[in-house]
Chains A and B, each alone.
Chain A
Amino acid sequence: MKRGTILRKTLVYSFLALYAIFTLLPIYWVFVTSVKPSAEVESFPPTLLPHSFSLEHYEFVFLKTRVVRGIVNSLIVTVAVTAISLVSASLAGYALARFRFPGKNALTAAILGLYLIPPVVNVIPLFLLLRTLRLLNTLWALILAYQALVLPLLTFLLRNYFESIPRELEESALVDGCTRLGALWRVTLPLSIPGLATAAIFAFIFSWNEFIFALLFLFSDELKTFQLTLMEFVKLYRIDWGALTAAMVIGMAPVLFFLAVAQRYLIAGLLGGAIKR
């Protein structure tokens, strides 16, 4: 019995360790490449551990490329997407959580239905729509288009969060003479800060990571988002792997940071969108 447990534990742990290695290897390979000096990046056979350490690629990426500009553009888009989606999703989420009104179920189903439409399906008409609105090649194109990616998820996320906050707190505020909106603003929202923060992080990650819409809707170099600037390191004749991997590490950093600080909420949120109806 005891022997079996030990054997089982060994098996379990070694499987976890193996899968962790599988998960981390590509990231390790990217990171290691980014800190190798140029000569070592494309030396054959490649060094599994870097022989010498160098920050030259990071220096190059920050000083000599459009990456910084791309980060600024991405932040502009991200902040705008987050602000707009957070406001509209929290209002709607609140309505769905607290009110009973005719058409509620139909609207819920419709939002879920829209969530199930893959974004790729809308690429062509969105392009034509933005062209008609003369918004192509502006960051507004992305700020609008990204709403499609984040709104349904955020709405369900926030609805679920509001539902978890006891109604009674709000009701006592109403008794004290607060309006509905006043109660939302003074009672429910302050209590929902973790939920709102999770939603904001989601909006950030989605807009930070997206690149197909950006590739198709932006033309000017000055408007390129961070992800698009990564593509500049891929040339017809060769890929500048040293610089590219350094830029990739920069791109992973904020996402990994959010994962580290808010993993519990993020994981719950990731599931919330899919499980809850």
Chain B
Amino acid sequence: MIKGILNSERTLPYVLMAPLLVLLFSVTLFPFLWNFYVSMHDLKTTNLQSGAPFVGLANYFRLFRDPTFLHSLKISSYFVLGSMVGQFGLGLLLAMILHYHPGPARVFRVIFVIPWILSALIIGYSWIWMYNYRFGLINSLLRLVGLRPIHWLNDIRMALWALVIANIWRGTPFTMLFLEAALKTIPSEPYEAAKVDGATSWQSFRYITLPLLRPAIAINLILVTMWTFNLFDTILVMTKGGPANATLTTAMYMYKSAFEYGLLGYGSAITIVMLLINALLAVLYFKTIGRRA
């Protein structure tokens, strides 16, 4: 009987998929669905034991009247925009350089990738140490050239940009690798033809590389947007959303609501709204992949 199931070409694939599906169901899909349930209850750390009342969509209505939540959307968009501009600009530049200079690429690529695979905690602490007012490397360099040191993470106007710099540091390698891989898929014929026609390198970049790269760029931008929007581990380590909520992104506010204020249901509602934003981006993602294929 069991042998039959294992040997039948019809049933075997399902058997092989089963462990994965069971695991994914229990640690991803089921919690994900439970989230909707939680978000419709006023679940708090203060009624975790006694049971939370059902409140329907009240958490969602409350969200859009909550000035802190709206503020967090604003902060998130600055954070995403700043990170994206930096990561994409530098990433594209590096990808082009590595692609057209395969000689040094091998050495530099492995250096550039390092930040991408370090833990959020280590990244956070490294940058706290870099930004330290008295002992940080950045302020030391500023003093060296005669500039005033800056309270990077404590200053309301600076903190978000300090985080953006750290995030660019962390995320640029991904964009670089992604776009470099995409460049490799571009055939060489169009360039040769362009060369024959006497096109400058800027022209061939503008009229050949960019259009052919466009789908990859679109996917890259979407992924970066999603990840940056959802990111909160390094923010949690570095500023916890402060000073004066200057770095309170939506993801950070979700964490704060759920685990600092103890409002689990409300936190769940925030994650659902975040998810909707993600879903919107995912639709774009599939659309661009579809267009490429």
Contact = CB atoms under 8 A, between A and B. Distances in A.
A275 interface: yes
Interface in B226-270: 226-227, 230, 232-233, 236, 251, 254-255, 258-259, 264, 267-268
Nearest to A28: B137
Nearest to A258: B117
Contacts of A216: 259
Tell me the dominant secondary structure on chain B's binding face.
helix
Contact of B24 (A114, A126, A251): A114
Interface stretch (B64-72, B76-84, B128-136, B190-198): B128-136
B136 to A, nearest CB: 8
A89 B7 CA distance: 20
A101 B126 contact: no
Contacts of B121: 209, 211, 227, 230-231
B29 A20 contact: no
Given A20-B111, A20-B112, A241-B135, A120 B271 contact: yes
Interface stretch (A55-63, A142-150, A165-173, A188-196): A142-150
B171 interface: no
Interface in B266-282: 267-268, 271-272, 274-275, 278, 282
**Interface centre among B6, B20, B90, B109, by most A CB within 10 Å?**
B20
B264 A124 contact: yes
Contacts of A266: 113, 117
A117 B119 contact: no
A259 interface: yes
Nearest to A117: B32
Contact of A15 (B97, B137, B230, B254): B97
A107 to B, nearest CB: 7
A84 interface: yes
Nearest to A248: B122
Interface of B: 6-7, 9-10, 12-14, 16-17, 19-21, 23-24, 26-32, 34-35, 38, 90, 93-94, 97, 101, 104, 108-122, 125-130, 134-137, 140, 143, 169, 174, 177-178, 181-182, 216, 219, 223, 226-227, 230, 232-233, 236, 251, 254-255, 258-259, 264, 267-268, 271-272, 274-275, 278, 282, 285, 289, 293
Interface of A: 12-13, 15-16, 19-20, 22-27, 29-30, 33, 41-42, 44-46, 48, 84-85, 87-89, 91-92, 94-96, 99, 101, 104, 107, 111, 113-114, 116-118, 120-126, 128-129, 144-145, 147-148, 151-152, 155, 179-181, 205, 208-212, 216, 227, 230-231, 234, 239, 241, 244-245, 248, 251-252, 255-256, 259-260, 263, 266-267, 270-271, 274-275, 277
